[in-house]
Amino acid sequence: MTTLNISLSSFQYWDSFFNFLRKMPNLRHLKVEFCSIYSYVNGQRWEQIILNYLPKLERLQFKMLVSLNNDLEEEEEEQQIDRILDKFRSRFWLVEHHWFVQCDWNLHRECAILYTLPYAFDSFRFYSPIQSKSTSPYDNDLRSYDNVHSLIYKPRLFNMSSSYHIQFFNIQHLSIEFPINAHFLSIIPRFDHLISLDALSNNYDEHCQHQLQDLLDRAPRLSSIRLGWKTLTSSLVQLFASRNWSVYQLELLCYGRSLNRQQCIMISNIIPSIHCKVLNLMIANRTCILEFINTMNHLRALNIRCQNDESSRSAQSTQDELCTWLQQQISSTFSTTKITRRDTIVRMWIH
């Protein structure tokens, strides 16, 4: 074997993994993700393993979590990061192999993330304000994150003075919390590859809606939207109606609250204009399901959680009352509709 790509979910596999590496002298490319903070391997340990057991290794890519002491002052915490990076500043790393690592950390989180450059993994979690240090002499190598296609972006402080050298140009799937800060568009300069958006806000105001509108305007290829908003207003719904686009899948949530009949009517009015084929909702009244089916010609799948769904609450129930009721109501109109249940979600395929 010359190539190994592996993800270790628990530190209990640590010893087995490195024992396995000892039996792979022909390995040339190693890519590994450590998902536990107890699996951190410092630079000296890596150096020993590679020199002793992986003599042909040409390419090393890793991502590790590093536990931090949150009781330290900001200056002391940065010194802690320097001590971590110093283990990767030997001649072995910088001169012989030109392998560089970066450490990202946040003052409000208990761990840092340490990874090789360029970043080699598909997904990235960005909890701003983020601080970074690396062993690379190329501070502004903005193409280091071209492999990232899925990004979770969570701003912790709205007013920040720091800027970032991290940029993402190829994001396809974005999960984001509003409001966003002023540096967001410098981190993601363009959205021409974006196809899936998960947008959340539990502090709704017009500013958040304007930010969402700007993001939607910048994403011409967007086909799947999951919107979790504090309040589903008519102006928010009209964001979708005012665009000449096709959204294949749409999910609308109101932070744990079911959509009432008036809100369902608003949605049913705009869905045909965006040619939505898959709709995910949590509703208060089952009769709204029938209205969706009867008014949306493009709809092909409907995934519903219903507030008055007694079958989902009764573990002893042998008959699914809601699914039976739906089948009776629509059988005369849609003879090929398939209705199933998964936990609290009723799924309908409409033909």
Identity of the amino acid at 346: V
Any domain includes 166: no
Structure tokens at 116: 């090789």
Stated pTM of the model: 0.86
| Coil/strand/helix, residue 155 | strand
Identity of the amino acid at 229: W
Question: For residue 136, what pLDDT is reported?
Answer: 92
Structural domain that includes position 262:
223-351
Task: For the chain of 351 residues, list the mean pLDDT of each consecutive stretch of 10.
Answer: 89 80 95 82 94 96 87 73 95 97 85 94 90 85 86 72 77 93 87 94 77 90 87 69 75 78 82 82 86 80 80 58 82 71 85 71
Question: For residue 257, what pLDDT is reported?
Answer: 78
The DSSP symbol for 258 reads: P
Q: For tokens 């909702």, name the residue.
A: 281
Any domain includes 259: yes
CA distance 153 to 177: 7
Any domain includes 163: no
Task: Report phi then psi at 243, rounded to 5.
Answer: -120, 140
DSSP string, 200-234: EESS--HHHHHHHHHHHHT-TT--EEEEEES---H
Any domain includes 54: no
Burial degree of 108 (CB within 10 A; 0-12, 13-18, 19+): exposed
Any domain includes 306: yes
Q: Which residues contact 328 (CB under 8 A, 6 or more apart)?
A: none
Question: For residue 237, what pLDDT is reported?
Answer: 67
Alpha helices in the chain (DSSP H): 14-21, 43-53, 74-86, 91, 184-187, 206-217, 234-241, 261-274, 287-295, 321-330
Domain count, the chain: 1
Task: Report phi then psi at 226, rounded to 5.
Answer: -120, 115
Question: For residue 274, what pLDDT is reported?
Answer: 78
Beta bridge partners of 116: 101
Question: For residue 204, what pLDDT is reported?
Answer: 61
**Alpha carbon separation from 16 to 12, 27, 58, 90 (Å, rounded):** 8, 17, 22, 27
The answer to whether 36 touches 88, Cβ cutoff 8 Å, is no
Any domain includes 153: no
Any domain includes 35: no
Question: For residue 291, what pLDDT is reported?
Answer: 81
CA distance 112 to 79: 13
Any domain includes 24: no
